[in-house]
Chains A and B, each alone.
Chain A
């Protein structure tokens, strides 16, 4: 297993998680603004 592929996978995973967190956060902010 080439080490840098593992690192790449981790980087992509971290980015995916961050992106998902931000999208969810945006939805919560949107309904906070409505209330």
Chain B
């Protein structure tokens, strides 16, 4: 329980620091605060996708349903964080550029990850037997594993060239004040711990469901 208490204080503390201690990014003004949550959420989305894909490939090799539980749980949590990242990104874009959505390369990439999560979970919901569902979902992860690099690095660039209407303020790498950088990474760590905690809970639930489903069947 100490670890959880630490996590509670860690994230709470850095939220306070984000508002009181760290200065604002010159151009972004108050909207900097959103980035403290938007970017860690996006990071966890990618982390969860990687975690899910690794466990999917492990399932194909070892055929141990434990890997499938991990992959499915990571996908569900990843989808949650992806929605948070997308919404917070849109809010931030509205504040910065006056439009919720304008297919900015980063927005496009996050949205595509949302599509992959949705497709993976839709596929899982359409298969009943646990072994077959695990196997086919893992095969789909394998395909998505190949598509992700193209979706994140290539398609946004192409799309960017298709609609090169000038952006008012491209969100390039802003030279961050050291204090901002500290708060930013601290929250990144905090979110990652949060992910692993919720992931472990979801996996334990999946184990109980699998066992319970067994005794019912």
A and B touch in the complex (CB under 8 A): yes
Closest residue on chain B to residue A11 by CB atoms: B15
Q: Is there contact, CB below 8 Å, between A12 and B15?
A: yes
Q: Is there contact, CB below 8 Å, between B204 and A8?
A: no
- With A22-B198, A32-B208 already in contact, the answer to whether A8 and B19 are too (CB < 8 A) is yes
Nearest chain B CB to A4 CB, angstrom units? 6
| Range of interface residues on A (Cβ < 8 Å) | 10 to 19
Across the interface, which residues of B come within 8 angstroms of A16, CB to CB? 8, 12
Across the interface, which residues of B come within 8 angstroms of A29, CB to CB? 201, 204-205, 208
Q: B191-215: which residues lie under 8 A (CB-CB) from chain A?
A: 197-198, 201, 204-205, 207-208
- With A15-B11, A22-B201, A26-B201 already in contact, the answer to whether A4 and B30 are too (CB < 8 A) is yes
Bound-state Cα–Cα, A3 to B30, Å = 10
Q: Is there contact, CB below 8 Å, between B33 and A7?
A: yes
Nearest chain B CB to A18 CB, angstrom units? 8
Interface flag for A25 (CB, 8 Å): yes
Q: B120-175: which residues lie under 8 A (CB-CB) from chain A?
A: none
- With A4-B33, A22-B198 already in contact, the answer to whether A12 and B16 are too (CB < 8 A) is yes
Bound-state Cα–Cα, A11 to B14, Å = 11
Closest residue on chain B to residue A5 by CB atoms: B19
Binding site for B on A (CB under 8 A): 3-5, 7-8, 11-12, 15-16, 19, 22-23, 25-26, 29, 32-33
Binding site for A on B (CB under 8 A): 4, 7-8, 11-12, 15-16, 18-20, 30, 33, 37, 197-198, 201, 204-205, 207-208
